[in-house]
Amino acid sequence: MSGTLIETFNWWAVERADVPALVVGDEQVSYAQLRAWSEAAAEWLVDQGVERGDRVGVMAGNSLLWVVLSQAAMLAGAILAPVNPRFTFSEASYLLVDRYRAKAIFHDDERAELVGKIGDQIPGARVFDLAELARLRHTPPRGRLATDDIPLDTELVIIPTSGSTGRPKGVVLSHRTMSGYVADSCLARPGAFSAARILLFAPLCTSAGYVVLMQYLAYGGTVFLEQAFDAERALDTIVTQRISTMMGTPIFFERMAACEGFRDADLSSLYYCLVGGARVSRQLLETWLEKGVLLRQLYGQTEVGGQATFNTDQASITHPEKCGRGSIYTRVAVIDERGEFCPPNTPGQIVIKGPGTMVRYWDDPEATAATVVDGWVRTGDLGVLDEQGLLTMLDRIKDIIISGGLNISAAEVERVISEYPGVHEVAVIAAHDDNFGETPLAIIHGPQAGDIPELLQHCSTHLSSYKVPRYMVCTAEPLPRLATGKIAKPQLREQYADAHLRLPRIR
């Protein structure tokens, strides 16, 4: 694919003019309506002083207006800079102020005060309510917006991701990256994207939200966008709206399967279901297979555009622990500590090379150079390939906890806890959680059990609520260490494998 996403969406605005592009609750917009509304919003952005290359921040929950803003920024040649709406002031300001220097920042009602304070820290920045865009819904565009000269390598979006450093990094994706990702996925799975009707509930500030949204709009599909996941509502939407595509972590499929109406639900429309973030259990696989739905394991991360592999139909049944192989133009390999490619069945670091890989980390050339080597993205995850090239992900070298589909950097939580007076050392690992799959567990050397309430308050001040540990253990003994001097997290994971059963839940 050699065109920008703008050209793709222009095509569908004519070809599928009256087909719903987005359905959000009781509202829906067709492809032609979305194009006209977005163009009017883009012209308004330019009138407000937004220029090409400026960062347009947004801190808001999933909504129709969020999508319109994303399209408007694209048409204006600006770079969308979303942040998680659940971020605290310190988390959000680090990205929007210290890193991106956003020119304009949009918010919803719930985040108005917080975003206003952030905007005050950026000279020349302007803060807007997303509701400003609602009044442009029926405003005819003036037709003065020139988009034909927007180059294919124009940077499109900065998606924040947490890694081993404990601070979010901004993954930059361009029109070329996104267009290549869209084409590669489509060619690798013919039939999966024709007139797709996708149920999307991932936060739009993540690759699982934004990239998937752009992907299915680029296919001319209909996106049913939810503000958050609700098992009963999701099941009802699948049945009544004849959803064909859905993706998420195993916990979401487990919660739907636990619904009272699951047994009698007509799920025959579901054609393409992808599951990532954790292994699919045999029990979960068989539960959905009994309903005629195959759950296909995937592997990916924001730095490679989102999804990098998906399991084959047969291997999804016989080997659900495997993540499949890359697409037609996406290569997957495993390297050793010297950077040499490993033979089959030899564990090593997973590396990815393909059209969907990131352009760079925003304003971080050192991290970019360390991550993208000879065109290969070094994922930081441990895996192994078999003789057929099927990938099995073995461990998260980057130490990421996935809670309800959201990534939590253990290092970030550790950094915040270590700033509390009296903490000598801390290790954060994943504990099982019935609702979210995983949740943070902090093992802390220094403070006493009586300090836990204040520790929690400290964490809540500097971390989003989903990052705050639900379990804390204060120990007078130093934490175990490996021969390298690092804290022995494998030992701690084994020691606290049943923490959810024997430790009190503190929040």
Task: With cut-offs at 50, 70 and 90, classify the pLDDT of residue 256.
Answer: very high
The sign of the CA dihedral 95, 149, 39, 17 is: negative
Residue 353: phi, psi to the nearest 5? -135, 125
SS3 133: helix
Q: What is the 3-state secondary structure (H, E, C) of 436-500?
A: CEEEEEEEEECCCHHHHHHHHHHHHHHCCHHHCCCEEEEECCCCCECCCCCECHHHHHHHCCCHH
Report the range of poorest mean pLDDT among 50-54, 132-136, 318-322.
Answer: 318-322
Question: Of the CATH numbers 3.90.1300.10, 3.40.50.2000, 3.30.300.30, 3.40.50.10680, which one belongs to the domain with range 400-502?
Answer: 3.30.300.30
With 0.95 as the threshold, say if the pTM is over it. no
Phi-psi region of 387 (alpha: psi -120 to 50; beta: other; left: phi over 0): alpha
Tens digit of each residue's pLDDT (9 = 90 or more) over 450-504 = 888 999 999 999 999 999 999 999 998 888 876 445 688 878 988 998 988 888 8
Whether residue 146 is predicted with pLDDT greater than 60 in this model: the reply is: yes
Provide the pLDDT for residue 482. Answer: 60
Q: Which residue has the tokens 């024709």?
A: 194
Provide the pLDDT for residue 468. Answer: 94
Closest C-alpha to 72, from 147, 21, 182: 147
Rounded to an integer, the average pLDDT of 352-367 is 95
Whether residue 430 is predicted with pLDDT greater than 60 in this model: the reply is: yes
117/93 Cα distance (integer angstroms): 9
Provide the pLDDT for residue 484. Answer: 45
Tens digit of each residue's pLDDT (9 = 90 or more) over 263-322 = 999 999 999 899 987 777 788 899 999 999 999 999 988 999 888 898 888 888 888 888
Provide the pLDDT for residue 134. Answer: 97
33/243 Cα distance (integer angstroms): 22
Angle (CA) 297-299-300 rounded to 5° is 145
Pick 2 or 15 by higher pLDDT: 15
Q: Which residue has the tokens 């399991």?
A: 311
Quote the percentage of the chain above a pLDDT of 70. 96
Residue 406: phi, psi to the nearest 5? -105, 135
